[in-house]
Each structure stands twice: as C-alpha cells, then as structure tokens.
Amino acid sequence: MISRDVRPLSVWRRIVWPSLMAGGLAAFAFPPLHLVPVLLLAFPLWLRVLDRSRSWKEAGLSGFLFGFALHTLGLYWLTNAILIRAAEFWWLVPFASPACAVILGPYAAVPAILCRLALPGWRRILVLAGAWTLADMSRLYLFSGFPWNPMGSDWAFHGGVGDVMIQPAAWIGVDGLTLLTVCLALFAVRGRVQAVLCSAVLVVWAVAGVVRLQQTASLPPVADQPVVVLVQGNVSEDEKLRAADVRDVFRRYLRLTHEGVEKALAESGGRPVVYLWPETSFPGVLDQVPVARSMIAQAGSGAAAGLVGTLRGGADGHWRNSMAVLLPDGSVAAEYDKSRLVPFGEYQPAFIPIQVVPGGGLKPGGGAVSLRVPGVSSFGPLICYEVIFTGHVTDHADRPHWLANITNDAWYGNSAGPRQHLAAARLRAVEEGMPVARAANTGISIVYDSRGHELARLPWGISGSLTQPLPPPLRWTIFGRFGQTVPFVLALSFLLFGFFGKEYVPARRNRQDNCG
C-alpha cells in the first residue's frame, strides 16, 4: 500500500492549478496596472511547472492553461461590448474573454513544449523566452491577427519612467522588449549572481533610454507639420444606437470642431490646422451626404483639412470602416479604408461556424498608406485596432511625417481595454519615431511626440476638443527601417542558442604538469 506521504501529485496539483495561477498573476503586469514585479513570481512559477512536467504533452497543457488565464484576465473588458447588445447576444456574456483566451492559449502552449524539450537550466530559459517572443510575433498573422497585450507593453508606465523604459523599442520594437522582459523575469530569481546581472541589464536599459531622450529632445520645427484639433464627442454606444440622437450627436461634433479650430488658428503661428473626428463619429455615410460635408467644412473653416471617421459603401455591396479626408470646400480628397478588422466585431473569422457578426461584417482595405493634403505634411491613417500591429502601421516606401489614429473605445467602457489600446499607440510613436495624434470618441484622446512622450490629453468620459501643435518626426529608427526582422533575429538566436549552445566549463590543469 502506497503511503499518502509518497503518493505522486495529481495532474491538477502539479500542472493545472499552478499554471492557471501563474498565468493569472502575469496578467496584472498589463496596462493600466503595470505591476511588472509580479512577473518575477509568475514566470518562475510557470517554469517550475514545466520542469516538473513528465512529458511534452503535460508541458503543452501547462502552456495552454497559462495563456488561457493570462488572456482571460487581460481581456476581461471584452464583456462590456457584449453587454451593450445584451438583449441580442446575452448568451455570449460569460464566454467573451474566455473564448478569445481559448484561441490564444496555443500561442503559449508551443513555447512550453519547446522549453520542455530543451535541457534544464539556463537553456530552458533562453528557449522559453525566444519561443514566447516568436509565438507572440506570429499573432500578427495567424487566426486573422490579434497581437493584443504583448509583454513588452508592460513597461509603458505613465510619465517619465515609462518614457525612459520604452525607448529601446526604437531599436528592437515591442517584441524585443517582450524578449528582454521574459528573460529578466526568469533569470533574476535564479541566484545572487543572476540577480546582479539582471539589475545591471535594467540599469543599462534605463541609461540607454535617458540618452535617447536627451538626443532627441530638441528638433527643428517643420513648417507644414500641422496643429491638430482632436474632437472628442463622448458619445456612448447606447446613444449612437438610438436613431433619435443622431442630430444631437452631429451638432455636438460641429460645435466642438468650431471651438477647437478657432483656438488652433489663433495659436497656429501660420502652421496648417487639421481636425480629427473619431472612428465612425459621423452618424451616417459621409460621401453620400453633401450637405453634411458642407456643414462640417464650415464648422472647421480656416482648417486645411478634416479627417472624419465614417462608414463607406462600396460598389461590391460591402460596407467599409473609413476615414474621409475633407477639404475646406466640403469635397472628399481621399478615403482610407480600415484594413485590419476586429475579429468577431467587424468580420466573421472563417474558422467560427456560428454567425456572431451582424450583417456579414465589413470589407477590409488595402493596407498602410501615406496621405497628403495641400500645405500639410504627409500622414499615415490608422483606424482603431490597426495601431496595435507593430511594424505594420506605415508605408515603408513612402514614410509619413505623423500618424493619425482615430478610434472608438466606447464599446469597452471605462476599463483596462482603452488603456491597453493607448499603450499600443504610444509604443508605435517610439518604434516609428513619429508623432501620433489620437482622437477617441469617449477618450482617451492624446498626442504623443516622436519619443512616446505625452504632450496633451483629453481624459476619458468628457466632451471637448484638444489643440496641439505636432512636433517633427525623427529620422528613421532602426526598427522603423528594418521592422520585425530585428526582434525576430534576436528571438530566434535565443531559441537556437538554448537548444544548441554549449555550456562553458573552465579547463582544469593536470596535476602532473606541476610535478618535477
């Protein structure tokens, strides 16, 4: 008879519960909490589970559960979007974030399996960090793309500390920050020597950030870099869905535009003025309502252009989520269609058999472009979700001078979701070395300079307009020029060295060499 003291631990106690606990704990490092020290507990606990797993299958189960808990908590705010249409989709309320976490779980399972196949010790750490980063990068492409909440975004603290810590993204991107984060979290608790070395890496990281901030602090002005007016109507989704409020919403945006443009013209010093309306802020189809375009242009009289979020119909019968570039005479100079659509929100992924997207969803656009308006520096349009796609936000063949991001985060309420979205926009400013002007329907509307430093903001849940001159862009950053090639090579190197690297063993002198 086997004694209770020596009875093997069950899979639940050995794999399931510790993996869920570690993944759930790691979620507290995401914006807006930024509790990065919890990773010193979460990742070592997970690695211990992987070390104790008895097969690659158990390791894969542990990875899936870690990822499931991480993303269930990290994406809890998805439930808010379902609650807005609870009468229609009430049955989805308990499944919103767990369902997404089930899809994202395999991205953690694969690194766990590879880690288990490596030799124990530092090799497993390198393999886990490299494989985790590569799996994270693959989220841009697999299952239609959902690269939300990379671990590198944990460092986007508010204020000066965050400014410093996110600067290396200009060289290695947010995925490179993810690689460093996982490595530091795992090595720092392995002993005194490793802790000292990890502390030294953090010091070098911070010093490099400070140096870059100082080097880019003063930039010569660019005459055609505009003064932007961000219009935040603070229109709830419930208000937008009630047809009786359409005119009130439109009048609100006209009034805020007029007030903001007047202020901008008075402070512009001769620079052009551009106003931005958030994603789908126009309550209709703008290119089909010339009277409305004329009214908007009149409200923004004196501005060089307006960037207005609207729906657009196509000759193919499909609707598109668009940005219309409106000139002073009310004509539409250009239209940009959102190319990265939100799965389950804007289109139905082919691998989901149940129809959950009303009307069959939207049609995507052709990808990143640079747009121009007479007298205004070129800009890269980004609608909502597109700003999270690191390395894919600009046209590399025609680099813009600034990024115009319009969004509607009202679906997700005053939760972590809009703050996580905001962290992504900030990191894009650092990676690409160019200012980001972000107009959000309910907030947070904000302007970042080319280093990700906040210049001005309108907080969540207020109605108003924000006026801010845009600083000039920086020259090409390393990441801006080479994109994800940089973090890919780094992560692959870690992975390969973990599998094939040889441990250094000091040579021992033969005692006979010292004998006479």
**Chain centre distance of CA 443:** 16
Query: Which tokens go with 341?
Result: 């659509």
Radius of gyration of the chain (CA): 25
Distance between CA atoms of residues 255 and 183, nearest Å? 51
Catalytic residue among 338, 363, 431, 432: 338
SS3 labels along 316-379: CCCEEEEEEEECCCCCEEEEEECCCCCECCCECCCCCCCCCCHHHCCCCCCCCCCEEECCEEEE
**Chain centre distance of CA 194:** 31
HSE, CB side, 13 Å, CA atoms: give it for residue 214: 6
Residues 6 or more apart from 414 whose CB is under 8 A from it?
460, 461
SS3 labels along 161-218: HHHHHCCCHHHHHHHHHHHHHHHHHHHCCCCHHHHHHHHHHHHHHHHHHHHHHHHCCC
Q: Please report the DSSP string for 44-73 in residue order.
A: HHHHHHHHH-SSHHHHHHHHHHHHHHHHHH
Closest CA to 448 of 402, 512, 479: 402
Distance between CA atoms of residues 400 and 391, nearest Å? 14
Residue that the structure tokens 């880019």 belong to:
216
Annotated active-site residue 58? The verdict is: no
Annotated active-site residue 338? The verdict is: yes
SS3 labels along 401-437: CEEEEEECCHHHCCCHHHHHHHHHHHHHHHHHCCCEE
Residue that the structure tokens 């985060």 belong to:
409
Closest CA to 65 of 115, 20, 113: 20
Query: Which tokens go with 470?
Result: 């845009």
Classified as helix, coil or strand, 98 is helix
> Cα-Cα-Cα-Cα dihedral of 295, 297, 301, 302, to 10°?
180
Q: How far apart are the first and last CA of the chain?
A: 63
Question: In this structure, is the dihedral angle defined by the CA atoms of residues 397, 398, 403 and 404, taken in order, positive or negative?
Answer: negative
Catalytic residue among 262, 279, 335, 386: 279
Annotated active-site residue 240? The verdict is: no
Distance between CA atoms of residues 153 and 86, nearest Å? 31
Catalytic residue among 100, 115, 198, 384: 384
Residue 4's CB is within 10 A of a number of other CB atoms, namely: 6
Q: Catalytic amino acids?
A: 279, 338, 384
